[in-house]
Chains A and B, each alone.
Chain A
Amino acid sequence: MAQPEVHHLFHHPIADHSFSADRQLLAVARESNVDLFKRNGSKFQLADELKGHDKTVTGVDIAPKSGKIVTCSQDRNAYVWEPSPDGWKPTLVLLRINRAATFVRWAPSETKFAVGSGARLIPVCYFEEEDNWWVSKHLKKPIRSTITTVAWHPNSVLLAAGSTDGHARVFSSFIKGVDERPEPSAWGERLPFNTVCGEFLNNTAGWVHSVAFSPSGNALAFAAHDSSLTVVYPSAPEQPPRAVISITTQLLPFMSLVWSSEDEIIAAGYDCQAYRLQGSEQGWQLAGSLETKGRPGVAHREESALNMFRQMDLKGKTTDDTKLDTVHQNTISTIRVYEEAGGQVRKISSSGVDGRVVVWSL
């Protein structure tokens, strides 16, 4: 397994990060700005700053095809940034929410995006040509609490959302004139806006940190604060799911997860390292960490006696235990797909509270 590529950008938490499709541009949410880094050889260099929000930015996403960047913040606003000859041009999006925006993702079609919010609703935003304006439609029922995360189905109509009320839900966000009528699937056949296609709760009703559809869209995984990961396989519309598999781990909770293929999930969170989980409808299990053990530089070197006594004298201990033996030195808050080929994810990127962005080969 290749060594992970570590970019220590700054000493601030990274709430969210996103790479452009050619992976030359990296957008990172840093306090109330979004920093844009450009690849320069093997390093990323600060190229631009998107200033506009006046509170902590909570989400950033670069659309892979159009290159537009959407950001959302605790100031209850979202902006769509478009490249123009004189820099990035922001357009304010009317979210119409009275609490912080928590999370934002473009739909695969890139014609709309969904924003999670503390106002117990999900604004689904799309561009109205006539008014030259981004408008939003609210997914409301039956959300009971803050939406912490959203994820799109490959058909750009179904939207999964995780909430602090412990539920992971699947909604239809079909907007007439914007979306193509979707193919019927196990989630539903006729899908008017705000159809609830599924509502799932795990045993302990812990709040949900992350949701994701499998690459085919026929399974949904969510990670909750009870250190569990639940995978749901729907059977048919309006029917109970074929299988709901919940695994409780010995680890601290996962904050983020991605499917690397139909039978593998990568999840990471408070344990500061990413884990591989494998399984199918029959069952899932934890298959180990992505960290390669005994990496050079972190492995224990043979200490000289002089050095040992000097350390004991100076610090009262012989080894420096202020560093974790993981690549990330703090909670990982986001993991994303970095490179994929033929439906198989080859590389993922992770970012966390320690200000690092790391690219991992699977």
Chain B
Amino acid sequence: MANVNWRTINIDALDPDSPANFDLTSLAPSVAPVSTADVQSLASQIRQLLRGGDNEGALQGALENPPYGADDKGKDIHLATVIEILQSIRQSDMSPILSRIYSAPGGTEALDVLMKYIYKGMAQTSATGTARNVTPQPTGFSQIHARGGGEGGGQAMSVLLSWHEKLVEIAGPGSIVRVMTDRRTV
């Protein structure tokens, strides 16, 4: 006993009431696991709608089936699909499409999902932007390169920002709060 450093004992592991011993899965709503292949096939179906010019149907389909149970790769595929749809819809069509989705049954849920993807998309574009900035450029043109990357991200960001503005007009700040609160991440 003498050589046990009692200051480093993890007392939480010994206390049955400690939060370290909780089964945390019971706290979050259960989500069914989704395989990456399923996400991929859904993405190709949605792309088909998109090619057929049915932007609204594509958006609705993408928002109704968020792959909460997928792994990171599956979630990234679905994010790319949603962003592609968002970028293909003209600014003047945004509000009418959003109000139609909102008034449909389960519409608030769908708009909450859209809000999640908008925020995730914003996080994504800025992350890739910085990633490009840190790539070492032996030619010394790193600055120009970084600026180019930033502008590309900026365009994607401006699409997301205008979607965000239109969405808040319809779904209200409640939808933002739900994105922050929800344990089912996209």
Q: B173 in the interface, Cβ–Cβ < 8 Å?
A: yes
Chain A stretch 283-338: residues in CB contact (< 8 A) with chain B: none
Beyond A206-B182, A248-B112, whether A227 also contacts B174 by CB under 8 A is yes
A252 touches which one: B27, B173, B184 (CB < 8 A)? B173
Binary B-proximity of A234-256 (CB < 8 A = 1, otherwise 0): 00000000000000111111000
Q: Is B177 touching A226 in the complex (CB atoms < 8 A)?
A: yes
Beyond A204-B182, A226-B182, whether A252 also contacts B177 by CB under 8 A is yes
Q: A165 in the interface, Cβ–Cβ < 8 Å?
A: yes
A-side interface mostly: loop
Q: A205 in the interface, Cβ–Cβ < 8 Å?
A: yes
Determine the chain A residues whose CB is within 8 A of the CB of B26 once the complex forms.
144
Q: Is B27 touching A165 in the complex (CB atoms < 8 A)?
A: yes
Beyond A144-B27, A165-B27, A201-B29, whether A206 also contacts B181 by CB under 8 A is yes
Determine the chain A residues whose CB is within 8 A of the CB of B22 once the complex forms.
144
A250 touches which one: B109, B171, B184 (CB < 8 A)? B171
Q: Is A204 touching B171 in the complex (CB atoms < 8 A)?
A: no
* Total A-B residue contacts, Cβ distance less than 8 Å: 69
B177 touches which one: A144, A201, A225 (CB < 8 A)? A225
C-alpha gap A101/B182 in the complex (Å): 26
Binary B-proximity of A201-218 (CB < 8 A = 1, otherwise 0): 101111100000000000
C-alpha gap A70/B166 in the complex (Å): 48
C-alpha gap A251/B109 in the complex (Å): 15
Q: A166 in the interface, Cβ–Cβ < 8 Å?
A: yes
Nearest CB of A to B62, in Å:
19
Q: A144-B27, A207-B181 are in contact. List 11 more A-B contacts (CB 8 A).
A: A166-B27, A166-B28, A166-B183, A203-B109, A204-B178, A204-B181, A204-B182, A206-B178, A224-B181, A226-B178, A249-B172
Interface residues, chain B, with chain A CB atoms under 8 Å away: 17, 19, 22, 26-29, 108-109, 112, 171-175, 177-178, 181-184
